[in-house]
Amino acid sequence: MAAQEPDAATHGQRGWEMFRSWGSPRYFVAPMVDQSELAFRMLCRRHGATAAYTPMLHSRLFLQDPNYRAEHFSTCEGDRPLMVQFCANDPETLLAAARIVEPHADAIDLNLGCPQRIARRGRYGAFLMDDLPLVERIVRTCAEGLSVPVTVKIRVFPDRQKTVEYARMLERAGASLIAVHGRLREQKKSNGPDADWDAIKAVVEAVGVPVLANGNIRTLADVHACMAYTGAVGVLSAESLLEDPALFSPRRLQPGGAFGGAQGAHLLLEYLDLVDAHPCPMRMVTGHAFRMLGAWLSEFTDLRDRLNQQHKEFGVEDIREIAQDVISRIEGLGRDYPVPKLSERALARMEREAAMAAAIAEQNREESSLQRIAANRAESLGNVEARRVLQAAA
């Protein structure tokens, strides 16, 4: 153990140098599949976010499929500091994929926290908690092979001491920053049991690198309370930021600055302007529209039905019209809160169905990409064999 301490100290120093070179950011846009794309990141940065992760990128698809790369990764001036997150279960594959985006990244992040079924099936994310030696090899390979720092985002074990040992191992392997989601792998819902801030605090006290906290962040007041309690240097938000992209804005702590009324629709219009500048697939845009318009769609159910349209002609301008319609209707109501026409049970069921459909769609997209790669490889091998036959005949 003593022989490893200098390495840990070196990585800790490197981590703090990295963090300070970024300007010591406190407010991070968390990595979200299909939801922390460039336009949304820039919206959040405009309203107080000081750093951001890309969506989780599948390392093998990113390496092998140019179409996947073009659809899932983009950046621009002002999109810094930027942490590019990958899921991976092979050190060399991740290293090769990371080198593609290395010039555009301030850090390469390894996703060790995704708890979804697709992660179990692909053996990545939180399911690598079952193979810690592999995790260590992945982090060490990338830390030694990249010119930018390597960071990790983890979940906690039921045993707090095991979580601490996990974090120390990651630090020794070369992680320059550790983001801790204070929930177990089995706790998939952010609206479920509260995140364990004590576990995050234990990691902060055990390692020498900067630690970010994730979990139970619903307001800006929660951000400050979490940092004060855990000692974390910054906080990630995902679900709450989707509903209020201005969550990190200082005005959220001022009288009258709480999120409500037509603010979500105005933020959506702002986001759509950014989409014009930084185009992305309509599934991402529609997903943000549902979250920013939120409960108003439970009252304006006709607008919800319009937003649910899936035909190819439905585009950004249609969503812009819906947002403007929401603003107009709210102004005519004389109140700044919705009165749902749907029951909470019906709304919850619709949300579950939408989440399941999105997960299935993402899994189908990954499988389609893998099949396309396999087909191209088979065709390439077939062409090689044909050339051999022709050469032999000649």
Spatial separation of the C-alpha atoms in residues 302 and 314, rounded to whole Å: 15
Active-site annotation holds for 114: yes
Say which residues have a Cβ less than 8 Å from residue 27's Cβ, sequence separation at least 6.
Answer: 48, 49, 50, 51, 223, 234, 235, 237, 248
Rounded Cα–Cα distance for residues 224 and 126 (Å): 27
Residue 347: the pLDDT is: 62
The single residue listed with the structure tokens 């930027």 is 82
Please identify which of the residues 44, 87, 114, 142 carries the catalytic annotation. Answer: 114
Query: How far is Cα 200 from Cα 183, in angstroms, rounded to an integer?
Result: 10
For the chain (394 residues), the mean pLDDT of every run of 10, in chain order, is 49 90 98 95 98 97 96 97 97 98 98 89 92 97 97 97 98 97 83 84 98 95 97 96 96 84 96 98 95 94 88 89 97 90 65 67 68 70 58 55
Please give the Cα distance from 68 to 61 (Å, whole number). Answer: 7
Task: Report pLDDT for 174.
Answer: 97
* pLDDT of 5: 41
Residues 6+ apart with CB under 8 A from 52: 28, 29, 36, 41, 44, 45, 79, 81, 82, 83
Distance CA 378, CA 204 (A): 49
Give the pLDDT score at 253: 87
The string of DSSP codes covering 241-270 is HHH-TTTT-GGGGSTT-SS-TTHHHHHHHH
pLDDT of the residue at 234:
98
Amino acid 355: pLDDT: 66
Q: How would DSSP label each residue in 9-52?
A: HHHHHHHHHHHHHTT---EEEPP-TTTS-HHHHHHHHHTT--EE
Q: Are 58 and 293 in contact (CB under 8 A)?
A: no
pLDDT of res. 4: 36
Domains (ranges, CATH) in the chain?
2-253 (3.20.20.70), 263-333 (no CATH)
Token readout for 315 is 């585009």
What pLDDT, on a 0 to 100 scale, did the predictor assign at position 222?
A: 95
